[in-house]
């Protein structure tokens, strides 16, 4: 028997605004660094599909989760181990903080074995990885199974229907929003995973050199203009409003 089939799941973190945390407001921008983070639910859906594919191969497949997480976020990846991943690692570079898929794909691609099936919740990352790996990217995946060494994939269509196609064995599968949710970890698995130490490996600088990236995107906002008061006199305001309503009614007749 050859090497087990590699099922690779990149796992990202996303921000969750904490209502109790302080908000730092600039002149026309909001600093969101206060926000807490959690694992991207779409990536957990991708993990669920990877676990199904592993079950379909018996003992001849391994699920590896690769977290895109800094040292502060890395402990979140214990949840991935608790849900059933065989191996959990992490990589990081400060240039990846903005979540740019081109930088993420450049950092991830050397970590992915030849012939691996990659499963992700991000269409942008899936496309960038497929281009670097030279394999097809299949979006909208609802389910997948093995058929004579290849993948049979059920995916959504633009008209709302579904279709089944063959690919692989190497491919990048992007899960659909309607895919099955990831199962919650069992207590014993969660307790064992809580003891894991996950230290992100530094991404070699040469991997990201020359990658065309716009860099982190700033969140911009402008306060909506407040309605201008006609008057502070209640009676005068009521009379002015009544006049406006009469004018509007006359225009509509």
**Tens-place pLDDT, residues 104-160:** 999 999 999 999 999 999 999 999 999 999 999 999 999 999 988 899 999 998 888
Asked whether residue 240 is assigned to any structural domain, the reply reads: no
Specify which residues 173 forms β-bridges with: 119, 138
Note whether residue 226 is domain-resident.
Answer: no
Range of the domain at 71: 5-203
Q: How many Å apart are CA 210 and CA 51, to the nearest integer?
A: 35
List CB contacts of 10: < 8 A, sequence separation 6 or more: 43, 65, 66, 67, 68, 104, 108, 118, 120, 122, 125, 129
Neighbouring residues of 188: CB distance < 8 A, sequence distance ≥ 6: none
CATH number at residue 30: 3.40.50.620
For 74-81, what is the mean pLDDT? 93
Interatomic CA distance for residues 253 and 180, integer angstroms: 55
User: Is 159 a member of any domain?
Assistant: yes
Name the residue with higher pLDDT: 216 or 65.
65
Q: What is the dihedral of CA 31, 197, 215, 213, to 10 degrees?
A: -160
- The answer to the question of residue 238 being in a domain is no
Residue 20 falls within a domain, yes or no? yes
How many domains does the chain divide into?
A: 1
Alpha-carbon distance of 138 to 126, in angstroms, equals: 8
Residue 241 pLDDT level (bands cut at 50, 70, 90)? confident
User: Is 214 within a domain?
Assistant: no
Element (H, E) at 76: none
Establish if 231 belongs to a structural domain: no
Give the model confidence (pLDDT) of 10-47 as tens digits.
Answer: 999 887 655 444 444 444 444 455 456 789 999 999 99
CA 46 from centroid of its chain's CA atoms: 10
């Amino acid at each position: 028997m050859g090497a087990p089939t590699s099922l690779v799941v990149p796992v990202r973190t996303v921000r969750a605004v904490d209502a109790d945390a302080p908000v730092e407001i600039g002149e026309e921008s909001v600093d969101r660094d206060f926000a807490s983070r959690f694992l991207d639910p779409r990536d957990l859906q991708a993990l669920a599909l990877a676990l199904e594919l592993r079950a379909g191969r018996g003992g001849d497949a391994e699920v590896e989760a690769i977290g895109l997480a800094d040292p502060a976020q890395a402990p979140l990846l214990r949840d991935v181990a608790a849900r059933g991943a065989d191996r959990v690692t992490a990589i990081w570079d400060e240039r990846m903080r903005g979540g740019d898929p081109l930088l993420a794909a450049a950092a991830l691609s050397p970590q992915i074995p030849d012939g691996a099936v990659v499963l992700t919740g991000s269409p942008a990352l899936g496309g960038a990885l497929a281009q670097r790996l030279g394999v097809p990217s299949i979006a909208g995946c609802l389910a997948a199974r093995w058929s004579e060494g290849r993948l049979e994939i059920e995916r959504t269509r633009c008209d709302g229907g579904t279709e089944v196609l063959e690919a692989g064995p190497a491919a990048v599968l992007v899960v659909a929003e309607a895919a099955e949710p990831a199962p919650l970890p069992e207590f014993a698995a969660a307790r064992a995973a809580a003891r894991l130490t996950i230290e992100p490996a530094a991404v070699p600088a040469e991997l990201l050199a020359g990658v065309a990236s716009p860099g982190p995107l700033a969140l911009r906002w402008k306060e909506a203009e407040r309605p201008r008061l006609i008057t502070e006199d209640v009676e005068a305001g009521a009379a002015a409003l009544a006049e406006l309503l009469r004018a509007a009614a006359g225009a509509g007749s």
